[in-house]
């Protein structure tokens, strides 16, 4: 699809058709990346998106037991001052 750059104040921009916005799942904020001479726009994910689900899955799988960390206390040679 070819689109034209339009003047927006001292800058230039493009208008994205509604169908493109919906198909790409874009919302009020988007992530913009420049890579190999291309401008890549994608839906911006909130910081730490998905962390809650990942932590829950880790717990459900029993991978969040940190009891073995206590065994490393004697590995340190020196003082904790």
Which is higher by pLDDT, 48 or 60? 60
Q: What is the pTM of this model?
A: 0.50
DSSP H helix total and E strand total for the chain? 2, 4
Give the integer Cα–Cα distance in Å for 60 and 69.
20
pLDDT value, residue 12: 96
Do residues 6 and 13 touch, judged by C-beta distance below 8 A?
A: yes
Mean pLDDT taken over the chain: 87
Under DSSP, the state recorded for 28 is: S
pLDDT value, residue 20: 93
Using one digit for the tens of pLDDT, what is the confidence trace for 1-33?
A: 899 999 999 999 999 999 999 999 888 889 999
């Amino acid at each position: 699809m070819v689109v034209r750059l339009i003047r927006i104040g001292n800058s230039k921009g493009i208008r994205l058709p509604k169908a493109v916005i919906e198909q790409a799942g874009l919302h009020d904020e988007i992530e913009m990346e420049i890579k190999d001479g291309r401008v890549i726009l994608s839906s911006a994910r909130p910081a730490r998106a998905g962390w809650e689900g990942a932590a829950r899955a880790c717990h459900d799988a029993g991978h969040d037991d940190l009891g073995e960390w206590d065994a490393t206390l004697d590995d340190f040679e020196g003082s904790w001052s």
